[in-house]
């Protein structure tokens, strides 16, 4: 499959012994200069051998602290910014970027390899407080089997979703508690504008959209195209998820299917970009800088997609064949400037809640 | 007394005060005006109303369904009783994320009810209420049943001999003795349902929101710390009021009971009525408690040849740095540490509370100890972050923080389980021992301990089980090389793909079995040598 199966057993054993001891220095951040501490959300993942390579080459030991979901991790980092828990923060996305920058979470650093970042992802060019690391598209996924069985073409755009043919088929997430749910709302706001999105949601509600709280429930319980949904006899063939979900359905199936059971409606996508940055007041800023450089290396960017189900931002990084085949990136996704998100998001979510949930 | 107070102040009061202050202090000045602003909002009032009434309804329903169960466990002897007692406790310790999934399989679309009668309860209040009963059944059975089993049935028989009707004898003799335990159980259930989070989120859909969910949203999603602080205070006041009322009722009802060995009070059921009662209780347990668990097991076996279980041992998932199977060992270590802390702190507190010379202040502390149950995990967790960040107490990344936070939730259980029994110990026994020259320590060891040993074990069992399934606090220090079982389950459910879903179900099943085994061991441990008295 890929090289991860050939992980050095020694590393594994070492880690197990460490974790069995269960002790830790109990220090915030990296007290000694040989350790670099990464603060992230709980979707952070990297292949062991790739991380081991960095440790070997740089001489730093990496300590990872996963601090809840994306929103929580950012909020905790802001709360503790005077006395941070680590040196580098990974995982603030464009919906939260302004909050992090306005609160002075990061100090400037231009990572080595910043020149290799695809132009569309570059931000904060004058100060370099954050570095883009990966991107993903929040899009409607459809259950192929359902649509071929009913001889119905799957919806391809936001406009399609409110057509009578697709009545009672879509399940989405609560915009106030779930990042794909918020992304979908922002996508409609970007598409229809400040004055138009509410009218769109009124139509969507009239067309029987179902809203559940989180992605897990929407995808594994309500969506008929997912493995969990099939078991649960789910009856919604459309779900708000990611462009990388169909590849995941293929990769995580036993035995591997010949083709993905689900597809992506590419006219419903919202682009999400994740950034990393050097925390203000980091104790080991030298190590933090080295780690930021590492996040942009070809080795890490190649390794990332199958670990976190995101797309690399580096020019020429490898995208796994399953991604290319079943879930390539959207060509023309909806996007929105972080400042505009910060200015309107709370108001939008509030209006959305009273419009859709009450 | 000093130890529990210090523990409580350091790991609860201070962090919570710190986070509330962060939300309500602007440039060093308290903004108490915010309280009025927030509470005046109509959607906040709506949340308050819903929180209260669903908690009341859940508590009533739980008592209604579980009290017969408590009676059956206390008074009847039937094969498999020990196993069953462990089984009914399992739901209580399962992470909400697992329970939500199981319940959807039961009452949701395509669930069992749907297939049999076309009934769907998900996104209705009924699903929430039933899940609350599922969670809290054990609280009533263990708290009330534990005491009920030790009440001497001869007292009731004596009343019957003196001409009281069966009902009257029960009302006059047994009920007053049971009342504190029933009140304690009801209070716990009310607290749990009042601060319910995961169940409401998963089963209620986004339309139902409790105070706890709202605090979480304001802190974690919206980052509006001042609103969160106000809501925390509101929840604090509400919980405090409930606890105060409860403390008062318990004090009014304290009587010295004659406790006997529970093994001598349980009989084989005889007569049609008793058999019917037993059958009814067993049927309820089968439908309400065992069925959702069975659904999980069935789904975990979905792959041929235990495929999901085999996948747990591989490091290929890329989610953790260790195979998910490692989470079991982590969970057990944390739970053992948390249990040890909770039992020591709880026992010290309970002993202090039952001393004759305990003043009003100390009695108030009893209620204070329960407060952690009524404060949201997210508040405490964020509080830890900003309060415990200076050496020598920079515990933010220390593994000890997990058992400490879990013990906070465990202590009240230990105290609540031990107090009714401790308070029921006849003080004259202690006095007699003291007169005969025993030191206070020795009095406790020779008089109290033999009587409360069983309560202590039950309490330890509870504390252990609570820690095992605890999710909220554990997430705050979730180091990827040290995930606990519930954290691992939540992670796996958070990723698409059949294998991850299956592994989550398999881990949930393992968690269930581990809990059941742990609880079963405790059942076996219960040496009922309650001394000669």
What percent of chain B clears pLDDT 90, i.e. is strictly above it?
10
CB contact residues (below 8 A), chain A span 132-151, against chain B: none
- Residue B52, judged by CB atoms within 10 A of its CB (0-12, 13-18, 19+), counts as middle
- The C-alpha of A5 sits at a distance from chain B's nearest C-alpha, in angstroms, of 7
Q: What pLDDT is attached to residue B316? A: 58
Q: What pLDDT is attached to residue A24? A: 37
- The secondary structure of residue A323, as a DSSP letter, is H
Mean pLDDT score of chain B: 80
Q: Compare CB distances from A64 to B97, B319, B479 and report the shortest one's residue.
A: B479
| pLDDT greater at residue B363 or residue B179 | B179
Q: Is A241 touching B (CB cutoff 8 A)?
A: yes
Contact B394 A27 (CB under 8 A): yes
Q: Which of B413, B420, B417 is nearest to B369 (CA)?
A: B413
The C-alpha atoms of residue B485 and residue B463 are separated, in whole angstroms, by: 16
Residues B19-69 have pLDDT tens digits of 899 888 877 778 788 888 888 888 889 899 999 999 999 999 999 999 999
Structure tokens that stand for B130 in this block: 């039933």
- The C-alpha of A14 sits at a distance from chain B's nearest C-alpha, in angstroms, of 11
Q: Which residue of B has its CA nearest to A245?
A: B496
Q: Is A78 touching B (CB cutoff 8 A)?
A: yes
Output the CA–CA distances (angstroms, integers) from residue A14 to A8, A26, B321, B400, in the order listed. Answer: 10, 20, 11, 22
- Phi/psi for A133 (5° steps) reads -120, -45
Q: Compare CB distances from B386 to A7, A79, A221 and report the shortest one's residue.
A: A79
The answer to whether B144 touches B182, Cβ cutoff 8 Å, is yes
Q: What pLDDT is attached to residue A2? A: 39
* Three-state SS at A140: strand
* pLDDT(B256) > 70: no
* Three-state SS at A30: coil
Per-residue pLDDT of chain A in tens (358 residues, 90 and over written 9): 333 333 333 333 233 333 333 333 334 444 568 999 999 987 888 999 999 999 999 999 999 887 777 888 898 899 889 889 899 999 999 999 999 999 999 999 999 999 999 988 988 777 899 999 999 999 999 999 999 999 999 999 999 999 999 999 999 998 887 889 999 999 999 999 998 999 999 999 999 999 987 888 899 888 999 988 887 778 899 999 999 999 999 998 878 888 999 999 999 999 999 999 999 999 999 999 999 999 999 999 999 999 999 999 999 999 999 999 999 999 999 999 999 999 998 889 989 988 998 7
Return the number of CB contacts < 8 Å for A and B: 183
Q: What pLDDT is attached to residue B476? A: 59
* Three-state SS at B528: coil
The C-alpha atoms of residue A207 and residue B303 are separated, in whole angstroms, by: 37
Structure tokens that stand for B503 in this block: 């592994």
The C-alpha atoms of residue A40 and residue A28 are separated, in whole angstroms, by: 14
Output the CA–CA distances (angstroms, integers) from residue B150 to A319, B143, B261, B282, B353, in the order listed. Answer: 67, 12, 6, 22, 22
Contact B501 A220 (CB under 8 A): yes
The answer to whether B511 touches B94, Cβ cutoff 8 Å, is yes
Cα dihedral across residues A335, A338, A341, A344: positive or negative: negative
Q: What pLDDT is attached to residue A247? A: 94
The C-alpha atoms of residue B51 and residue B208 are separated, in whole angstroms, by: 9
| Mean pLDDT of all residues in B447-469 | 79
User: Which residues, other chains included, contact B318 with Cβ-Cβ below 8 Å and sequence gap of 6+?
Assistant: A4, A45, A47, A306, A307
Q: Provide Rg for chain B, Cα atoms.
A: 23
Binned at pLDDT 50, 70 and 90, residue B321 comes out as low
Using the structure block, give the residue that is written with the tokens 């409860």: B246
For testing the chain B interface, which of A220, A249, A307, A353 should be mutated: the one with the most B CBs within 10 Å?
A: A220
Q: Which of A320, A357, A274 is nearest to A41 (CA)?
A: A274
Residues composing chain A: 358
- Residue A120, judged by CB atoms within 10 A of its CB (0-12, 13-18, 19+), counts as exposed
How, if at all, do strands A35-40 and A210-212 pair?
A: unpaired
Using the structure block, give the residue that is written with the tokens 């009281």: B164
| pLDDT greater at residue A231 or residue B118 | A231
Residue B110 CA neighbour count, 13 Å, CB half: 16
> What are the chain B neighbours of A70 within 8 Å (beta carbons)?
none
Q: Compare CB distances from A64 to B221, B399, B480 and report the shortest one's residue.
A: B480
> What are the chain B neighbours of A176 within 8 Å (beta carbons)?
206, 217, 221-222
Q: Compare CB distances from A65 to B22, B220, B397 and report the shortest one's residue.
A: B397
Q: Cβ atoms within 10 A of the Cβ of B233, count?
A: 19
Q: Which of B19, B168, B306, B520 is nearest to A79 (CA)?
A: B19
The answer to whether B179 touches B423, Cβ cutoff 8 Å, is no
Contact A69 B104 (CB under 8 A): no
Structure tokens that stand for B399 in this block: 């593994």
Contact A216 B97 (CB under 8 A): yes
Contact A19 B482 (CB under 8 A): yes
> What are the chain B neighbours of A75 within 8 Å (beta carbons)?
219-220, 223, 382
For testing the chain A interface, which of B124, B198, B206, B298 should be mutated: the one with the most A CBs within 10 Å?
A: B206
* pLDDT(B108) > 90: no
Output the CA–CA distances (angstroms, integers) from residue B368 to B48, B422, B459, B484, B494, in the order listed. Answer: 22, 19, 18, 29, 36
The model carries a pTM of 0.78
The C-alpha atoms of residue B525 and residue B135 are separated, in whole angstroms, by: 24
The answer to whether A93 touches A134, Cβ cutoff 8 Å, is no
- The C-alpha of B395 sits at a distance from chain A's nearest C-alpha, in angstroms, of 6
Q: Compare CB distances from B389 to A28, A71, A176 and report the shortest one's residue.
A: A28
Q: What pLDDT is attached to residue B61? A: 96
Q: What pLDDT is attached to residue B526? A: 55
| pLDDT greater at residue B145 or residue A12 | B145
The C-alpha atoms of residue A356 and residue B12 are separated, in whole angstroms, by: 38
The C-alpha atoms of residue B421 and residue B151 are separated, in whole angstroms, by: 11
The C-alpha atoms of residue B171 and residue A70 are separated, in whole angstroms, by: 56
- The C-alpha of A344 sits at a distance from chain B's nearest C-alpha, in angstroms, of 12
Q: Cβ atoms within 10 A of the Cβ of B21, count?
A: 15
| Helix, strand, coil in percent for chain B, rounding step 5 | 75, 0, 25
Q: What pLDDT is attached to residue A103? A: 92
The answer to whether A247 touches B494, Cβ cutoff 8 Å, is no
Q: Is A19 touching B (CB cutoff 8 A)?
A: yes
User: Which residues, other chains included, contact B136 with Cβ-Cβ below 8 Å and sequence gap of 6+?
Assistant: B58, B62, B66, B92, B188, B189, B192, B193
* pLDDT(B483) > 60: yes
Tell me the β-bridge partners of A157.
Answer: A267
> What are the chain A neighbours of B495 within 8 Å (beta carbons)?
248, 252, 309
* pLDDT(B105) > 80: no
The C-alpha atoms of residue B144 and residue B179 are separated, in whole angstroms, by: 9
> What are the chain A neighbours of B106 within 8 Å (beta carbons)?
none
Binned at pLDDT 50, 70 and 90, residue B531 comes out as very low
The answer to whether B430 touches B157, Cβ cutoff 8 Å, is no
Q: Cβ atoms within 10 A of the Cβ of B100, count?
A: 28
The C-alpha atoms of residue A76 and residue B383 are separated, in whole angstroms, by: 10
The answer to whether A154 touches A300, Cβ cutoff 8 Å, is no
């Amino acid at each position: 499959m890929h090289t991860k199966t050939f992980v050095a057993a020694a590393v594994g054993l070492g880690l197990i012994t460490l974790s069995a001891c269960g002790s830790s220095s109990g220090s915030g951040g990296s007290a000694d200069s040989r350790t670099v501490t990464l603060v992230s959300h709980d979707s952070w993942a990297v292949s062991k051998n790739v991380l081991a390579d960095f440790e070997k080459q740089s001489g730093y030991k990496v300590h990872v602290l996963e601090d809840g979901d994306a929103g929580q991790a950012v909020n905790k980092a802001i709360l503790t910014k005077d006395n941070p828990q680590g040196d580098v923060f990974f995982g603030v996305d464009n919906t939260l970027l302004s909050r992090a920058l306005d609160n002075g979470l990061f100090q400037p650093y231009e990572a080595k390899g910043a020149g290799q970042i695809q132009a569309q992802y570059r931000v904060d060019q004058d100060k370099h407080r954050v570095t883009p690391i990966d991107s993903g598209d929040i899009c409607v996924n459809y259950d192929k089997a359902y649509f071929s069985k009913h001889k119905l073409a799957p919806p391809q755009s936001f406009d399609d979703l409110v057509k009578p043919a697709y009545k009672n088929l879509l399940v989405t997430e609560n915009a106030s508690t779930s990042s794909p749910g918020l992304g979908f709302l922002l996508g409609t706001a970007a598409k229809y504008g400040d004055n138009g999105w509410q009218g769109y949601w009124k139509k969507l509600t009239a067309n029987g959209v179902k809203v559940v709280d989180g992605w897990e429930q929407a995808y594994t319980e309500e969506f008929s195209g997912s493995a969990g949904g099939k078991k649960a006899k789910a009856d919604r063939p459309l779900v708000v998820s990611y462009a990388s979900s169909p590849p995941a359905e293929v990769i995580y199936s036993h035995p591997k299917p010949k083709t993905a059971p689900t597809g992506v409606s590419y006219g419903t996508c919202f682009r999400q970009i994740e950034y990393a940055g050097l925390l203000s007041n980091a104790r080991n800023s030298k190590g933090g800088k080295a780690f930021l450089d590492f996040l942009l290396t070809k080795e890490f960017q190649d390794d990332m997609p199958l670990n976190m189900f995101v797309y690399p931002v580096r020019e020429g990084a490898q995208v796994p064949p399953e991604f290319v085949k079943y879930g390539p990136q959207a060509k023309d996704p909806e996007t929105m400037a972080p400042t505009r998100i910060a200015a309107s998001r709370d108001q939008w979510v509030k209006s959305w809640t009273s419009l859709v949930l009450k | 007394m000093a130890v529990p107070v210090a523990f409580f102040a350091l790991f609860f009061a201070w962090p919570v005060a710190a986070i509330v202050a962060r939300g309500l202090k602007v440039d060093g000045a308290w903004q108490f005006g915010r309280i009025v602003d927030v509470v005046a909002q109509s959607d906040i009032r709506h949340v308050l109303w819903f929180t209260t009434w669903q908690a009341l309804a859940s508590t009533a329903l739980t008592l209604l369904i579980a009290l017969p169960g408590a009676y059956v466990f206390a008074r009847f002897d039937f094969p498999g009783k020990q196993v069953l007692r462990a089984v009914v406790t399992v739901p209580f310790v399962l992470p909400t994320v697992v329970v939500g999934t199981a319940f959807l399989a039961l009452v949701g679309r395509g669930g069992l009810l749907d297939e049999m009668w076309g009934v769907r309860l998900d996104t209705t209040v009924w699903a929430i209420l039933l899940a609350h009963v599922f969670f809290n059944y054990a609280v009533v059975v263990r708290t009330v049943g534990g005491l009920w089993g030790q009440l001497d049935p001869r007292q009731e028989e004596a009343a019957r001999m003196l001409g009281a009707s069966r009902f009257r004898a029960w009302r006059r003799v047994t009920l007053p003795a049971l009342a504190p335990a029933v009140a304690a159980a009801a209070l716990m259930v009310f607290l749990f349902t009042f601060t319910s989070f995961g169940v409401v989120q998963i089963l209620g859909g986004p339309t139902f929101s409790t105070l706890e969910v709202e605090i979480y949203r304001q802190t974690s999603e919206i980052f509006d710390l001042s609103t969160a602080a106000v809501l925390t205070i509101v929840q604090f006041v509400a919980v405090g009021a409930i606890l105060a009322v409860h403390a008062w009722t318990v004090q009014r009802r304290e009587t010295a009971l004659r406790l006997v060995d529970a093994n001598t009070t349980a009989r084989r059921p005889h007569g049609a009525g008793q058999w019917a009662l037993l059958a009814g209780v067993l049927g309820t347990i089968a439908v309400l408690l065992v069925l959702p668990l069975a659904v999980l097991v069935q789904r975990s076996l979905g792959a041929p040849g235990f495929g999901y279980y085999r996948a747990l041992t591989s490091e290929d998932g890329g989610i953790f740095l260790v195979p998910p199977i490692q989470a079991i060992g982590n969970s057990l270590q944390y739970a053992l540490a948390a249990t040890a802390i909770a039992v020591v702190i709880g026992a010290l507190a309970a002993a202090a509370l039952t001393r004759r010379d305990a003043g009003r202040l100390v009695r108030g502390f009893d209620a204070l100890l329960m407060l952690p149950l009524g404060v949201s995990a997210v508040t405490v967790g964020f509080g830890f972050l900003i309060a415990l960040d200076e050496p020598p107490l920079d515990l933010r990344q220390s593994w000890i923080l997990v058992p400490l936070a879990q013990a906070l939730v465990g202590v009240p259980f230990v105290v609540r389980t031990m107090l009714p029994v401790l308070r029921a110990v006849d003080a004259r026994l202690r006095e007699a021992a003291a007169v005969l020259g025993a030191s206070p320590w020795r009095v406790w060891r020779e008089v109290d301990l033999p009587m409360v040993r069983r309560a202590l074990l039950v309490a330890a069992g509870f504390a252990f089980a609570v820690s095992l399934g605890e999710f909220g606090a554990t997430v705050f220090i979730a180091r990827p090389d040290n995930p606990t079982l519930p954290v691992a389950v939540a992670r796996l459910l958070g990723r698409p793909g059949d294998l991850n879903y299956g592994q989550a179900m398999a881990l949930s099943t393992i968690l269930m079995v581990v809990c059941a085994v742990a609880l079963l061991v405790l059942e076996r441990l219960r040496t009922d040598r309650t001394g000669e008295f």
